[in-house]
Structure formats: C-alpha cells, structure tokens
Amino acid sequence: MEPEIIDEDPESWSPAVKPKRSCPLRVLGPGLITGATDDDPSGIAIYSQVGAQFGYMLTWTILFSYLLVAAVQMISARLGRTTGHGIAGVLRLHYPNWFLQVFVLLPIANTVNLGADLGAMADATNQLLPGP
C-alpha cells in the first residue's frame, strides 16, 4: 500500500487536509506541543545538574546538535505533510509487524520518564519546604 501523495497547491487540498484558520494556535500545531513536552521536570533537573557541573564547556556541541535536530524536524515535517501520516503510520506502511512490536516499549519508557519527573518534582519541593 503506497502512501497518498498530497498536492503541494493549497487550493487543491481536500477539506479534510486543508488547515483550518479559525484559531491562531492551530497554525503552531504539534510542533509547539512537541517542543513544550521536552521541558519536563526531569529534563530541567538534568539540565540544571549538567550546567552546574560543566558550565559553558559544552557550548560547542550546539553547532552539531542544532543541525541534527533541525534536520530530523524537517524530515519529520515533510514526511507528515507528504504522506498525511505520522512516523508510526509510515513505519506501519513500510515495515513488518514484528518490527512495529518493538515500539510497545514506548509505554515502559514513558513510565520511567514519569517516575523521573516525580522524583525531580519531589527534589524541588524538598528544597522549598522543610521536611523529609
């Protein structure tokens, strides 16, 4: 099953694909949500610890990491725009089912991340309020 290629001309978009302009926040779309989800408590705790330990010594990595992050975001956006599917949907079209079963580990990773978030929030609360 080949993914459906959507025409680049916005005038030829079907009503289901054409972006709605009623709410200005819809223009931002999932990019805003994806960017905001990276700033969770465990991430902030890690960034704070790394910043306290290394200071500005790792600033040079921005040159490489920014280019890689921008490339991945651009590829993901073009993939979604062209096929109308997310990354998991495109993988489902092109790879066997056993490969996709590996992504069952995602809930486990999310659970571990939730535990790290709760631990970071507990540490922050402990710094603000006295007690065990």
Query: Residue 36's domain spans which residues?
Result: 10-128
115 part of a folded domain = yes
* 5 occurs within a structural domain: no
Distance CA 7, CA 82 (A): 8
Q: Is the pLDDT of residue 129 over 80?
A: yes
Is 60 inside a domain boundary? yes
**Please, are residues 79 and 87 in contact by the beta-carbon 8 Å criterion?**
yes
Here the tokens at position 4 are 């459906």
Domain-located, residue 76: yes
Higher pLDDT, 86 or 79: 79
Q: Are 90 and 11 in contact (CB under 8 A)?
A: no
> Rounded CA gap, 81 and 18, in Å?
11
Split at pLDDT 50, 70, 90, the class of 89 is confident
**2 domain residue, yes or no:** no
**pTM beyond 0.95, yes or no:** no
Count of domains forming the chain: 1
50-84 pLDDT per residue, tens:
888 898 898 898 888 999 989 988 888 888 888 88
Confidence band (pLDDT; 50, 70, 90) for 112?
confident
The answer to the question of residue 32 being in a domain is yes
> Does residue 4 lie within any of the structural domains?
no
Within a domain: residue 73?
yes
pLDDT over 80 at 19, yes or no = no
